[in-house]
Every structure is written in C-alpha cells, then in structure tokens.
C-alpha cells in the first residue's frame, strides 16, 4: 500500500486529463461530483460548503450537468429528497457541514439502512456554540456510527479524486452503502491550488452508470409491486438485515483499496486506499493524521529525519470502515503511535484515537497518545507538529506517557 | 427461589396488557416480588397480543431475567378463537394450568394438558361491566386457579388502577370470574 | 358456493390489519382505485403502514416505500424527480401521510414542496391525532377534544385548548395548482376531487377527514355516519382551491347543531354546555363570514 | 452492476389468504337477507376491508367472512336494512 504519493501536483498525463486549473477545494469537489454525472442534486447552503452547491447550480444552469437540482429548504429535507430519488435508481449528490450534518443525522441512518449509495461532500466545520464557522472535524467524526463510508481528503486534488472514487466504492454491488467525502473547511475548501480535472470521457469509462436491480422504477417497469423499507418486527428479519449491512461495510475495505489502485492506473494518481504510510518502515514514533494537517506533518517528519530522529506519518483516509487489522499490521513494529485530530469526544479522548488505540491493543509494549488540536479552525502550525513529535520521542525514550490526551495549541 | 410465570393470550382491545399491569400490584400486595411485561408491538384492535407476569414467593426474592415467558405455569387465554391460530399451551410447565374464556366446558375443548379451567368471561363482562373487555374477569379466574393471590388483593388493585366510574363494575367482574371459574382439578379457592 | 375472491383490479386489498370501521382504510380503498397502477405510494409511519407493510403482509398492488415521520413532502419530491431522471414518466407519486406527519413535524417540508410546486399528489389522512402511537393530540386535533396528551381532567384546559390547524387554507395560500378537503361520507365529492388532483401536475394536496372509531371512541359501524354529520354540522368544510381561489363544494343545506355531531363521540363527552356553545360559535362565525363573502 | 438482491430486502404485494385472516377478529357478523338486497352496492363501496363482492348470481352481494371484521358499516349504510348484525 505504499504509494509514491506525489507531493507536488504532477503535469496532466496526456489523454485522461481535460486541464489543470487553480481551484478552491469547494470548486474541485464540485467538479469531481459533476464528472460523476449525478441525476438529482439537493443541497442546502452552509458555510463553508456553500460554493459547492453554487458551482453545481452553475453546471446545471449552463447545461454542463443534466441533473434535477432542488432549491431545498433544509439539510434534513436535502437528504430526504435524495433518499427518495436514490430509491428510484437515480445517482445523487449533496454537500453539507457541521450543524447541517447534525440536522441530517436521522436521515444518515435512513440512507445507510436503506442501502442507498448516496455520495456527500462534507466541508468539515466546528460544532457550535460558541458560534464558529471555521474548520474542525468534530462534525463528520461524530457521525461515525451512522453507517456511512467516511473518506478524508488531504487537499483539493484528493477531494476531487475521492468524490469520483466514492461513487464507484459506494455503488459496488457487494457494498451498496452511502459515502461521505470529508475535507477541512477553509484549510481545503477555501484554499486554491492547481488541480487536474480529468476528462468526462475518462471518468465515464472509469465509473459505469448506476443501475440497481431493485428500485421503485424497476418495480414499476416490471409490473412487480413491492414494498421498500417495510416493517420488520424483532423476531422477523431486522437483526439479520443489519448483520448483512455490517458485512457490506467490511467488504467496502477491499473496494476502497481496489478503486484507488484502478484510479491510479487510469489517472496516474494513487492516494493509498485505506491509509497512506509515509516513512513508517523503520520509524520509532508515528503520527496518525486525518485531512489537511497531514501535509504539514510530512514536512516536519522530513525535517526530523534529517536530524536522524526516526519519525513517520500515517495518513488515515478511511475512517469508516475503520482499517482495524490493516493498521495493526503496518504499525506493529512502531514502539510509539500518536494520533492527531481536530476533534474531541467529550468525556474521553478524540474519537479517531479511541478507534486507533482499540486496533492496537494486541501490539504488546506499544504506547499510544492522542493530540487534540485546531478546534474551531485554529491554525495547526509546524511548531504544533514539532510539539507532538517531541512528546512522542520523549515517550519513546522514557517508556511512559504523561497524559493520554493532550491539547496542542490551546492557551491554558 | 421459585419464579412463577403467567402468559396472557388475547386480541387487541380485550385488555390483556392492562390485566398484567393490574395483577402485578395485587401480587405485590400479597407479599411477592413481581414483574409485568407487556409484549411490545403494534397492538391493533382484534389482532393477537401477549402479556406476561412473573412473581416470586417472597418480596425479597430476585426475578433474575428480563425476558418474555416461554415456560408458563399459568396461561390465560382471553379469546378461544386464538386456539385455532396459536398453541397457547407452548412451554406449559408440568402441573401448569390453562384458563380459557369460553362458554364450553373443558372436555369439549381439544386442549391436551391435564389442567384446563374455563370461564364464560364474555358473558360475565357483558353483565358486570357491559362491555366485551374481559381482563378483570380473567384476573378473578387467575386468583381462583392459582391460589397465589387473594380476590381481595385483586379487587384492591382494580380499585387503585381503574378510573373511578368503572372501578365497581370491574371489581364485580373479578369476583364473578373468581367464583364462576370451573376448576376441574378443584383447587379450593383460599 | 366458491370462496368469494377479491376483484383482481383492486389495488388495496383485504388482509390489512386496520381497526374494524377505520376511516383511513375506507378512503385509501377508493384513492387506490382512482390513482391506478402507475402510482408509487409512500407511507409516513402510522396505522396504514403498520397494518399493510409488515413482513409477509404487503397489501398494496403498487410499488411503495416507508418514509420517516419528518419529511413526507421532501421524500416524495425526491422520488418524483428521480423517476423523471431515470425516464419513468407520468407516474403519480402519492405520499399517504398522517395528520401529525403533515401538520406538525412535517410542515416545513410540506410548505417548501408546495412553494417549489414539486410534482407530488400529497394525501393527508386527518384522523385528528397520532392514532398509531396511541391517540396523542396533534395540531389538527379539534378544540376541546380529549386525547392521551390533552386529557380532560379536573383542571382546565379540558381537552385540547387550541383550534384545529387549517391545513387546507395554509396550503392553498402557497398558490398550489390544486388543494381540497374531502371525507369518505361524501363519496361522490371525494372521487371527483381525487380524480381532478390526479389529472393535474405540480403540487396537489388533499386533506381527508377520516373518522377513527378507536381514537374518537365511537362504534366502528358509525364511521360513515360521523363523516357525514361532520359536514352537515359545518365542523368539516368540503372545499377545493386552484392557485389560491377557494370554492366550497358541498354547502350543508340546513346546518345541524354541532352538539349532534359531538355527542356521538366519547372524546367530547366531558364538554360543558358552555364549551359546546363556544365550538358552535366558532362554526357559526365561519359560515356567517362565508355567507357574507358569497352574497 | 446489479445491486445484490439478498442484501436489500423488499416484500412483494400479496393477496395470500392464510397469513392475515382478519375474519376471526369479529364479535358480530353481518347476515344478508338476500331477498331485500337491491344491488345498490353501497355496502361494497363503504366496506373498509374490501370484503363484500357481487355474488356470481349478480342479484345480491356476498360477504367474504375470511376477512370481514364485523365493523357493521354495511348494515348501517344499507338502504333496505338487508344486513343484520348477528353475535359471533
């Protein structure tokens, strides 16, 4: 799974690329979604994602995208309308953030329980109050139990690519689960950088049309009336149905790996599937990261390596399904593992740390630590990353962790 | 430490869930620990429903499980048409008894267990309460058949739990159920 | 004589487990006959789906989906858009939603879909309470009615303290192509309105007054009688509207006193004469106001 | 890419007569005096359970007692009182 992950966006390889343009993360995400040809789009404005909806509306108005676009009245109704549309066999797209995602929470469970492969972009944003529209990851991370696949992008290019990958993963016939592509509000959504926009032909070739065997449309066409999402009492099939849904989540791990590999072959860019290790092989300490601060972490890792300090970075791309066994394997020889996230699960530690620590319980002698940083959009500087590596290296030398969850960058 | 288990079979609207909720305080008043479990589900008027009651001999004895009743000591079947669609005797314990709301006598019912008691609860309810709701009659039958709760405690629980305007008729229905339940193996009502 | 077989042209068939004498079952029977098989029905959680879509007992001869409680209009709008996009056209998308799902928790989605004029034929089965969950009061419960959450106790208010939310008027004011009120007791009026709604495009809304024996506490044999008396007493107004213009479709010849309607149902039997007079006054106020506008 | 059917569960429309014979819910049943039936079909129109049909003779109606729940609407709306409700 080690990827020669391009740190600098490469020149487009000939026939698959339409063009390279400087785009914000929101615009890149909108292009990714458009190229997947969603048939029904329904999104409610919310900073920091609003530009995605605006760009999509522009594509529809200009005729670049043949989609029915709802000027919907709320995020709850946005997801509700897409559930209705997806049930007819139409491909769907929406985008939201923070309070919007929380307002959709009921419908997240409805989409996953309904096995509807809806794809959503989430421009991560803090959970208010106090009122804050800037980026942290507490919104999507807190929805980890909703049954949605959760993929995290590091930069604008990965946001675009991941949205195309997400459709293929979600619509695989042995998966059929909805998928979120999350990226940092502002640090990705509003930062502009060169982005390769693949050609529509290349994406059409990579992404076959969505054509489910079971749908309201099919039921009508076949004259075979049936009830979707019928009532299943305790002793009937509910328990078995949820077991099968969990199995689909397991199978999604293979799809995430496979789709990233196929994407690399087709478009020249690979991102690493479930996660992307960087200088982990002989590392004494590794920092597990999620999203845009990965870029800064790699820069500091290079700096420490030059001073012969054995540090590495492991960028987690799939938070659900969580690569529990795969993570334990790739980190089994690493004495100290830190997890940095822009999130805190009140009453314990960051939620990513909780899952990573659980995955590593059987690796004896290994020490783990959690770093909570960047809440409410507070900038995560190279200095903050150094503070984390220094703490991990000290743990490496002393063999003991002073505090399992450490808030970095907050003034006490 | 013995736990006694009761299972009600009825149709929505016949008051089985209320019966379980009323017999529980009666048994508690008798000095027993008790648990009343209404079978959850979409009770629709006329559709089959179940309810369960578990009780111990002494109030400080524990009722260890929070499950439905699969091995009843007593079954109360409030609607004899259920015999066509359900095996009301499923899991009945040795020496256990089935009470059936019917005008017929035990031997012309094909319920092949030793102890089958009958009570024409429909007629009694019509006379005493003026309705088809037979639950309080069944509680009187249960007192008669089990001997584990006095009719006085049953009546007390009814007076405590039923709305004022229908307390007395339902107390009367319980007494009549107690007196008129045919208990062939003749447990003398205490 | 051979077993009497149900007609195979029926789209809502026997075997559903609605209560005996249910007004909703009676209405749905006729709605499905009129809508025909090019229809998708969508259920908000309530009696209808609980009685007809449980495990091995699906009793609608058309495709359907079970919705949540909050979003009937938005969900239906999505189905309608999806069908259009995947190329399955002139299908009627008909949410069959309860009054709570429509007037309370789902009102935001309802208002927005009406404002957008989404292509949906929205049926609201108004049995004036959350019937399936146990007769809790809803926004369309009439003033004075006792429900499990607006009980008539020893202290005021005795039963529901606010007026019945006028859904038909509210949706009419969204300037939708067609809206109407109906009740199965007036079957001719009922069928005309469902037919007219089916043949119209855009957002259509029909609020159906469906008596509920179990909830309103009357004997199931009187469902049709109560449905008629509600109209004859002026408590339920049969009307329709096109782009905001309202027409009364059945004017009660000589309006009966409301008391004759109220006394049939135990949910009203706690009302004092003064409270009945208050309800009578509200009904008179409507019809007098209406008569003035008419002349 | 067909969606794998056994994962997503749906239930087919059914007129199957065994599972839900609601007829045994009745406390009373409508009995028809055929000679009084004028085939106005009001009972058919107002039956909430679609359980009254035209008899083969087409001179009167017939009740499907497998499903009739005994609500009594037919007796109430019948203009000639051809239906009487008898205790079950």
Residues A247 and A325 in one domain: no
**Would the CB atoms of C51 and B44 count as touching at under 8 Å?**
yes
Name subunits touching D (3+ CB pairs < 8 A). A, B, C
**Would the CB atoms of D73 and C224 count as touching at under 8 Å?**
yes
Q: Which two tokens stand for residue B85?
A: 């669609």
CB B36 within 8 A of CB B51: yes
Complete DSSP assignment for A280-316: -TT-SEEEEE-STHHHHHHHHHHHHHHTT--EEEEEE
For the segment C286-294, the average pLDDT, to the nearest whole number, is 79
Q: Where are the alpha helices (DSSP H) in chain C?
A: 23-35, 47-52, 72-85, 99, 107-116, 167-172, 187-198, 213-216, 223-232, 258-262, 273-294
Q: What percent of chain C has pLDDT over 90?
A: 87
Helices B151-161 and B167-180 cross at an angle (nearest 10°) of 160
Interacting residues of D8 by C-beta distance below 8 A, sequence separation 6+? A114, A115, A176, A214, A228
CB A347 within 8 A of CB A364: no
Q: Which residues of A touch C203 (CB under 8 A)?
A: none
Interface test with chain B among D27, D49, D51, D69, by most B beta carbons within 10 Å: D27
Least confident range of C6-15, C133-142, C171-180: C6-15
**Would the CB atoms of D69 and B132 count as touching at under 8 Å?**
no
For the segment A66-77, the average pLDDT, to the nearest whole number, is 97
Residue of C nearest to B47 (CA): C17
Residues A210 and A280 in one domain: no
Interacting residues of B89 by C-beta distance below 8 A, sequence separation 6+? B75, B98, B111, B112, B113
Query: Which pLDDT score, from 0 to 100, does residue A109 have?
Result: 98
**Would the CB atoms of D72 and C21 count as touching at under 8 Å?**
yes
Instruction: Report pLDDT digits (tens) over A155-202.
Output: 999 999 999 999 999 999 999 999 999 999 999 999 999 999 999 999
Instruction: Report pLDDT digits (tens) over A90-145.
Output: 999 999 999 999 999 999 999 999 999 999 999 999 999 999 999 999 999 999 99
Whether D53 maps to a domain, the answer reads: yes
Whether A33 maps to a domain, the answer reads: yes
How many residues are there in chain A? 412
Q: Does B42 touch chain D (CB under 8 A)?
A: no
Whether A30 maps to a domain, the answer reads: yes
CB C236 within 8 A of CB C181: yes
DSSP H or E stretch at residue B127: helix B121-128
Interacting residues of C128 by C-beta distance below 8 A, sequence separation 6+? C99, C138, C140, C141, C142, C145, C164, C212, C215, C216
Distance CA A261, CA A1 (A): 9
Q: Does A230 touch chain D (CB under 8 A)?
A: yes
Q: Does D20 touch chain C (CB under 8 A)?
A: yes
For the segment C146-156, the average pLDDT, to the nearest whole number, is 91
For the segment C284-295, the average pLDDT, to the nearest whole number, is 79
Q: Which residues of C touch A222 (CB under 8 A)?
A: none
CB C42 within 8 A of CB C75: yes
Whether pLDDT at C270 is above 80: yes
Q: Which two tokens stand for residue A60?
A: 């529809």
Query: Which pLDDT score, from 0 to 100, does residue B186 have?
Result: 67
Q: How far away is chain A from the Cα of C184, in angstroms, using its nearest Cα? A: 26
> How many domains would you assign to chain D?
1
Whether A343 maps to a domain, the answer reads: yes
* Cα–Cα nearest to D68, from C185, C34, D79, D86: D86
φ and ψ at residue B36, rounded to 5 degrees? -110, 125
**Would the CB atoms of B45 and D27 count as touching at under 8 Å?**
no
3-state secondary structure of C93: strand
> How many domains would you assign to chain A?
2
Q: Where are the alpha helices (DSSP H) in A178-320?
A: 200-206, 216-222, 238-267, 293-306
Distance CA A294, CA A287 (A): 9
Which position has the higher pLDDT, A84 or B44? A84
**pLDDT band with cut points at 50, 70 and 90 for residue D19:** low
Instruction: Report D:57-86 residues touching C (Cβ under 8 A).
Output: 62-64, 66-67, 69-73, 75-77, 85
3-state secondary structure of C280: helix
Residue of B nearest to D19 (CA): B85
Nearest CB to D10 within list A174, A208, A226? A226
**Would the CB atoms of C81 and A68 count as touching at under 8 Å?**
yes
* Cα–Cα nearest to C234, from C276, C275, C280: C280
For the segment A300-327, the average pLDDT, to the nearest whole number, is 98
Q: How many Cβ pairs within 8 Å bridge chains A and D? A: 52
Query: Could you tell me the CATH number of the domain that includes residue A378?
Result: 3.40.50.920
Q: How far is CA C78 from CA A60, A96, A183, B172, in A?
A: 17, 18, 27, 58
Mean per-residue pLDDT over chain C, rounded = 94
Whether pLDDT at A11 is above 70: no
What CATH number was assigned to the domain covering residues C23-294? 3.40.50.970
Q: Which two tokens stand for residue B82?
A: 């259920």
Residues A251 and A389 in one domain: no
Nearest CB to C26 within list D46, D55, D75? D46
Q: Does C23 touch chain D (CB under 8 A)?
A: yes
Name subunits touching A (3+ CB pairs < 8 A). C, D
For the segment B18-36, the average pLDDT, to the nearest whole number, is 95
Q: Which residues of B touch D28 (CB under 8 A)?
A: none
Which position has the higher pLDDT, B38 or A104? A104
Distance CA A397, CA C52 (A): 67
How many residues are there in chain C? 295
Interacting residues of A196 by C-beta distance below 8 A, sequence separation 6+? A9, A10, A12, A17, A19, A20, A157, A160, A267, A269
Q: How far away is chain C from the Cα of A109, in angstroms, using its nearest Cα? A: 11
Enclosing domain of residue A28: 14-267
Name the residue with tokens 């429900």.
Answer: C147
Instruction: Report pLDDT digits (tens) over C73-131.
Output: 999 999 999 999 999 999 999 999 999 999 999 999 999 999 999 999 999 999 999 99
Q: How far is CA C149 from CA A57, A338, C145, C152, in A?
A: 45, 53, 10, 9
**pLDDT band with cut points at 50, 70 and 90 for residue D1:** very low
Instruction: Report pLDDT digits (tens) over A275-302.
Output: 999 999 999 999 999 999 999 999 999 9
ipTM: 0.89
Q: Does B9 touch chain D (CB under 8 A)?
A: no
Pairing of strands C245-250, B74-77: unpaired
CB B38 within 8 A of CB B7: no
Q: Which two tokens stand for residue C199?
A: 């043949």
Name the residue with tokens 């066409």.
Answer: A221
Instruction: Report pLDDT digits (tens) over B48-73.
Output: 889 999 999 999 999 988 889 999 99
Query: Which pLDDT score, from 0 to 100, does residue A236 have?
Result: 84
Q: Does D5 touch chain C (CB under 8 A)?
A: no
Distance CA D38, CA D59 (A): 8
Whether A8 maps to a domain, the answer reads: no
Whether pLDDT at B190 is above 50: no
Largest Cα–Cα distance in chain D?
62
Q: What percent of chain A has pLDDT over 90?
A: 92
Enclosing domain of residue D46: 37-87
Cα C19 to the center of its chain, rounded Å:
17
Query: Could you tell me the CATH number of the domain that includes residue D69?
Result: 3.30.70.20
For the segment C181-204, the average pLDDT, to the nearest whole number, is 98
Q: Which two tokens stand for residue A383?
A: 């200095």
Instruction: Report pLDDT digits (tens) over C22-81.
Output: 999 999 999 999 999 999 999 999 999 998 998 888 999 999 999 999 999 999 999 999
CB B145 within 8 A of CB B97: yes
Q: How far away is chain B from the Cα of C223, in angstroms, using its nearest Cα? A: 16
**Would the CB atoms of C65 and A87 count as touching at under 8 Å?**
yes
Nearest CB to D13 within list A213, A225, A241? A225
Nearest CB to D69 within list B46, B85, B132? B46
CATH 3.40.920.10 fits B3-180, yes or no: yes
First to last CA, chain B: 23
DSSP state of A126: P
Query: Which pLDDT score, from 0 to 100, does residue B106 have?
Result: 86
Query: Which pLDDT score, from 0 to 100, does residue C290 have?
Result: 77
Q: Does D18 touch chain C (CB under 8 A)?
A: no
| All structural domains of chain C with their residue ranges | 23-294
Instruction: Report A:227-256 residues touching C (Cβ under 8 A).
Output: 227-233, 236-237
Cα C130 to the center of its chain, rounded Å:
12
Q: How far away is chain B from the Cα of C211, in angstroms, using its nearest Cα? A: 16
Instruction: Report D:13-42 residues touching B (Cβ under 8 A).
Output: 22, 24-25, 27
């Amino acid at each position: 799974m080690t990827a020669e992950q391009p740190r600098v966006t490469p020149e487009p390889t000939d026939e698959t690329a339409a063009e390279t343009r400087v785009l914000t993360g929101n615009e890149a995400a909108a292009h990714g979604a458009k190229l997947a040809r969603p048939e029904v789009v329904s999104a409610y404005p919310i900073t920091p994602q609003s530009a995605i909806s605006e760009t999509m509306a522009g594509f529809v108005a200009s005729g670049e995208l043949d989609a029915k676009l709802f000027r919907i009245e709320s995020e709850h109704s946005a997801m509700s309308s897409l559930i209705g549309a997806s049930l007819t066999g139409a491909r769907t797209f929406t985008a939201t953030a923070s309070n919007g995602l929380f307002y959709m929470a009921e419908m997240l469970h409805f989409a996953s329980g309904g096995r509807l492969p809806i794809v959503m972009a989430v421009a991560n944003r803090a959970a208010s109050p106090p009122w804050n529209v800037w980026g942290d990851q507490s919104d999507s991370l807190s929805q980890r139990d909703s049954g949605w696949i959760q993929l995290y992008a590091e930069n604008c290019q990965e946001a675009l690519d991941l949205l195309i990958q997400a459709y293929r993963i979600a619509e695989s016939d042995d998966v059929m689960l909805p998928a979120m592509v999350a990226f940092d509000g502002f640090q990705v959504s509003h930062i502009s950088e060169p982005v390769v926009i693949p050609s529509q032909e290349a994406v059409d070739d990579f992404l076959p049309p969505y054509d489910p065997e079971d749908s309201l449309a099919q039921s009508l066409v076949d004259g075979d009336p049936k009830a979707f999402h019928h009532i299943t009492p305790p002793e009937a099939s509910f328990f078995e149905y949820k077991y099968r849904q969990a199995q689909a989540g397991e199978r999604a791990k293979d799809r995430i790996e496979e789709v990233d590999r196929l994407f690399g072959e087709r478009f020249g860019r690979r991102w690493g599937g479930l996660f992307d290790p960087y200088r982990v092989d002989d590392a004494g300490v590794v920092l597990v990261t999620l999203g845009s601060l990965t870029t800064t972490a790699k820069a500091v890792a290079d700096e420490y390596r030059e001073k012969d300090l054995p540090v590495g970075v492991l960028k987690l791309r799939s938070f659900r399904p969580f690569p529990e066994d795969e993570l334990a394997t790739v980190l089994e020889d690493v004495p100290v593992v830190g997890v940095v996230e822009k999130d805190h699960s009140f009453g314990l530690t960051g939620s990513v740390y909780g899952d990573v620590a659980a995955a590593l319980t059987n690796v004896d002698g290994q020490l783990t630590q959690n770093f909570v940083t960047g809440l409410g959009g507070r900038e995560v500087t190279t200095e903050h990353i150094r503070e984390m590596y220094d703490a991990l290296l000290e743990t490496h030398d002393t063999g003991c962790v002073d505090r399992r969850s450490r808030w970095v960058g907050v003034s006490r | 430490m013995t736990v006694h288990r009761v299972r009600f079979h009825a149709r929505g609207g016949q008051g089985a869930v209320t019966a379980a909720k009323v017999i529980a305080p009666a048994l508690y008043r008798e000095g027993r620990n008790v648990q009343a479990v209404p079978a959850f589900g979409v009770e629709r008027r006329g559709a089959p429903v179940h309810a369960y009651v578990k009780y111990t001999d002494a109030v400080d004895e524990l009722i260890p499980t929070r499950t439905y009743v699969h091995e009843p000591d007593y079954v109360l079947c409030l609607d004899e048409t259920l015999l066509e669609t359900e095996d009301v005797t499923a899991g009945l314990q040795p020496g256990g008894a089935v009470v059936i709301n019917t005008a017929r006598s035990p031997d012309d019912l094909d319920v092949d267990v030793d102890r089958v008691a009958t009570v024409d609860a429909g007629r009694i309810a019509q006379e005493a309460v003026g309705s088809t709701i037979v639950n309080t009659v069944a509680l009187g039958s249960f007192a008669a058949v089990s001997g584990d709760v006095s009719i006085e405690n049953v009546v007390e629980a009814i007076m405590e739990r039923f709305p004022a305007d229908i307390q007395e008729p339902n107390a009367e229905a319980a007494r009549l159920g107690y007196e008129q339940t045919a208990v062939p193996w003749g447990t003398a009502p205490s | 004589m051979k077993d009497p077989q149900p007609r195979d042209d029926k789209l809502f068939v026997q075997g559903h487990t609605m209560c005996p004498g249910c007004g909703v079952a009676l209405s749905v029977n006729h709605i499905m006959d009129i809508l025909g098989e090019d229809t998708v029905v969508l259920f908000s959680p309530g009696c209808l789906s609980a009685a007809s879509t449980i495990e091995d007992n699906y009793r609608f001869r058309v495709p359907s989906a079970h919705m949540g409680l909050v979003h009937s209009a938005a969900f239906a709008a999505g189905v309608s858009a999806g069908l259009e996009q995947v190329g399955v056209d002139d299908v009627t998308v008909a949410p069959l939603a309860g009054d709570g799902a429509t007037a309370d928790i789902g009102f935001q989605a309802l208002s927005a879909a009406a404002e957008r004029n989404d292509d949906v034929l929205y049926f609201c089965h108004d049995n004036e309470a959350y019937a399936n969950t146990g007769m809790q009061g809803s926004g369309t419960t009439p003033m004075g009615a006792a429900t499990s959450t607006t009980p008539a106790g020893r202290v005021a208010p005795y039963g529901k303290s606010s007026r019945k939310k006028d859904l038909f008027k509210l949706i009419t004011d969204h300037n939708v192509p067609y809206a109407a009120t109906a009740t199965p007791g007036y079957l001719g009026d009922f069928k005309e309105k469902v037919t007219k709604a089916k043949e119209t495009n855009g957002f259509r809304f029909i609020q159906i007054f469906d008596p509920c024996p179990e909830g309103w506490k009357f004997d199931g044999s009187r469902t049709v009688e109560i449905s008629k008396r509600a109209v004859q007493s002026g408590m339920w107004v049969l009307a329709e509207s096109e782009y905001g213009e309202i027409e009364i479709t059945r004017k009660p010849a000589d309006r009966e006193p409301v008391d004759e309607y109220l006394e049939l149902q135990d949910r009203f039997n706690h009302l004092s004469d003064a409270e009945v007079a208050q309800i009578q006054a509200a009904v008179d106020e409507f019809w007098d106001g209406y008569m003035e506008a008419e002349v | 890419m067909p969606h794998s059917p056994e994962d997503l569960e749906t239930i087919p429309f059914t007129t199957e007569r065994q599972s839900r014979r609601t007829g045994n819910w009745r406390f009373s049943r409508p009995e028809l005096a055929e000679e009084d039936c004028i085939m106005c079909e009001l009972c058919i129109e107002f039956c909430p359970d679609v359980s009254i049909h035209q008899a083969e003779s087409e001179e009167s109606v017939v009740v499907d007692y497998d499903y009739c729940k005994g609500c009594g609407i037919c007796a109430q709306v019948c203009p000639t009182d051809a239906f009487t409700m008898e205790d079950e």
